[in-house]
Amino acid sequence: MKLIVLDRDGVINFDSDQYIKSPEEWRAIPGSLDAIARLNQWGYRVVVATNQSGVGQGLFEMDTLNAIHEKMMKAVAQVGGRIDAIFFCPHTNADDCACRKPKPGMLKEIAMRYNTDLAGVPVVGDALRDLQAAAAVNAQPILVLTGKGKLTAEDPALPPGTPIYADLAAAVTKLLAP
Please list the active-site residues: 7, 9
Q: In what order do the strands lie in the sheet with 140-144?
A: 85-89, 44-51, 2-6, 122-125, 140-144, 164-165
CA distance 143 to 11: 9
Rounded to whole angstroms, the Cα distance separating 6 from 131 reads 11
